[in-house]
Amino acid sequence: MSARLKFLTACAALLGPALAGCGLPGLTASADSNYGPLRIGTQEIHLNPEAPDQKAVGVLEFRGGLALSSRNGNFGGLSGLILTPKGDALIAVTDQGDLLRAKLLHDNKGWLVGLGDVSLQRLRDVDGKHLSRRPDKRDQDAEAIERLADGSYLVSFEVRHRILRYESLRERPTLFARPPGIKKAPRNGGMEAMTPLPDGRILVMTEKFRTKGKKKGDYIGWLLDGDGESLGQVFWPGSGKFRPTDLAALPNGDVLLLQRRYTVAGGPAMRLSQIPAARIKPGARMLDVELAQLTLPLSVENFEGLAVFPDPAGGWTVYLLSDDNFNLLLRTLLLKFHLEN
């Protein structure tokens, strides 16, 4: 057992619920402060700290990784992830209802080496006001963000389950969807993952909402049309203790599914799989094919953000982003991989 795993295991015995998603609170400023440029620290990391020469896991090829930090108490809790249309910058939402933007910096070999022009802003609610800050996170727990073909954005929220549509991320949104039955989802286990499909439908998956309320039941999701109306439920049969955290569609209609797991015995883990387009239809059980798993001693944390972009040399660039839950025991990691077609 590595020193890091021993440390996390010991801490888990004392702080169990915190490591499972109820992290220590950040040093939160008021809703009208700490907006604009954000000073952030970046440290380059290896895929495997115990074997720095390792450059692959599953079918993924490692192309650089960063550990991110900031003295700003509003930094952290990063969940959903997208890239800008040119693929040169990222946008992420946080558990506190903030929006992080940053330029991706690479060396001359295409390896991720840093972030630039980092900024933080607060999202608005349908009343035009900044999302309210409450200890129970009722209004602010943003979990997924996606950009639609018309340039607008969808952001999904837990606790008060809903999807908001933003014509501009700085302006007032409108209510896009509350899928039928979502009110029965656990307050902290709602619409965690979302992606627009090439045909205009929206695929949404929940994190803890399962069929018949059974722990081993299928995870429930929905297919929505372009207006947010439900086309029917879909189901993911699960894989061990892994739970869905983000989705990213490919141009052929296949979807990549990011999942995370935490156990006291094994620590954190990440699983990335691919769902064929033919299995994404109302009423279907979306059987997937595993692409990779990250477990200790690899650089793995509570990964909740996934973004995919075409690689000019062929294949796909895949970014993974972790959520530290504003917990001092967890890290914010951004990893870059290459995936062949």
Instruction: Tell me the C-alpha distance between 160 and 138, whole Å.
Output: 6
For residue 214, the model assigns a pLDDT of 67
The overall average pLDDT reported for the chain is 90
Cis before 297 (ω within 30): yes
Distances (CA, A) of 340 to 11, 298, 333: 38, 21, 23
Q: Pick from 312, 294, 311: which is nearest to 303 by CA?
A: 294
> Structure pTM?
0.90
pLDDT tens figures, 80-105:
999 999 999 999 999 999 999 999 99
pLDDT tens figures, 304-319:
999 999 999 999 999 9
The answer to whether residue 64 scores a pLDDT higher than 60 is: yes
Distances (CA, A) of 205 to 143, 190, 196, 283, 288: 11, 8, 12, 13, 14
Least confident segment among 34-43, 69-78, 172-181, 270-279: 34-43
What domains appear along the chain, each with residue ranges and CATH number? 3-339 (2.115.10)
Instruction: Tell me the C-alpha distance between 110 and 126, whole Å.
Output: 40
The answer to whether residue 18 scores a pLDDT higher than 60 is: no
Helix (H, G, I), strand (E, B) or coil at 6: helix
Q: Pick from 170, 291, 171: which is nearest to 239 by CA?
A: 291
Positive or negative CA dihedral for 330, 333, 338, 341? positive
Q: Which two tokens mark 170?
A: 């700085």
